[in-house]
Amino acid sequence: MRLIRIGYACINTILPSPNRTCRLKNAAPERIEELARENLGRLAAILEWNRDHAIHLFRISSETIPFASHESVYLDWETALAPELQKLRNLIRLTGMRISMHPGQFTVLNSPKEKVVENSIRELDYHAALLDTLAHDMSHKIVLHIGGVYGDKSASARRFKENFQRLPDRVKTRLIVENDEKNYTAADVHAIAVDLGIPAVFDIFHHSCHPFTEKSPIEKIIQRAMETWKAEDGRPKLHYSDQWPGKHAGAHSETVDMKAFKAFYEIVRDLAVDVMIEVKDKEQSVLKIYNEIPDLRGLF
């Protein structure tokens, strides 16, 4: 079994975007179905391209089915788009490709506003429904940040754990939590993950922006995160990115810094982990890594 696998998120820079959407005022069921069918076709093209280039991980956009969780828009997309969804499911199963999703900034499970929490639960349930439709096991995950601090970090972390219990079971079994660059450190997230019995994904870039006070080596932090993953969760996941020079702290770079990545690779090279590369040029950085570290290029 190959140890490290790498992938990228949401779009392929040389193929049409699979994330077309529209304004809410134009979101009639017929229009949503048209956009979603086109998105799924484009997603299939990206996954086939990934297969041909030995890229094993891909993060699917939340916009794949536009307005899927919006309370005023309804489309029975699982029925209407069954042929397209089945094609994708077959492709994912046959290749062993791993997919994931990462809801955006408005999905905040620990918000003090009940309406935001309700919307977040509905959005997470859509993500789980799409992954259930496309994926054949529980290794295909939904990544979520803990959220805001709202003046009381301990209370906000506790609210996250309380609202987690309100989630449908199909969300709970797919949810993984990630440290961020300003609110919740890897140590904070690890404690929450352990309390909830769910996996923690370690983002090394966010950790560099917002480390915790304990002077732990990266190897130890990664190992602690890996220990939160059970067999049914699949390989532990890590996120990798670099700082964009001249931008605000936490801005993902245009392309991978190979010197920095090689230093990271020396830390993880003997671990069975999946690494999501979060940079602006997407698959181009994955190919750059393959060119400079040929051992990472593997066949399906």
Residue 52: per-residue pLDDT: 95
Residues in the chain: 300
CATH match of 5-12+16-296 with 3.20.20.150: yes
d(CA 198, CA 159): 16
pTM over 0.75: yes
| Closest C-alpha among 130, 125, 70, 122 to residue 100 | 130
pLDDT at position 93: 95
The pair of structure tokens assigned to 34 is 């048209």
Going residue by residue through the chain, which has 300 residues, state the pLDDT in tens, using 9 for 90 and above: 468 999 999 999 999 999 998 788 887 888 999 999 999 999 999 999 999 999 999 999 999 999 888 887 788 999 999 999 999 999 999 999 999 999 999 999 999 999 999 999 999 999 999 999 999 899 999 999 999 999 999 999 999 999 999 999 999 999 999 999 899 999 999 999 999 999 999 999 888 878 887 678 899 999 999 999 999 999 999 999 987 777 776 677 889 999 999 999 999 999 999 999 999 999 999 999 999 999 888 654
Q: What pLDDT sits at residue 300? A: 47
Amino acid present at 11: I
147 dihedral zone (left: phi>0; alpha: psi -120 to 50; beta): left
Quick one: pLDDT at residue 24? 81
Pick from 225, 119, 136: which is nearest to 176 by CA?
Answer: 225
Q: How far is CA 166 from CA 155, 163, 172, 250, in A?
A: 17, 5, 9, 31
Q: What is the pLDDT of residue 249?
A: 67
pLDDT at site 2: 62
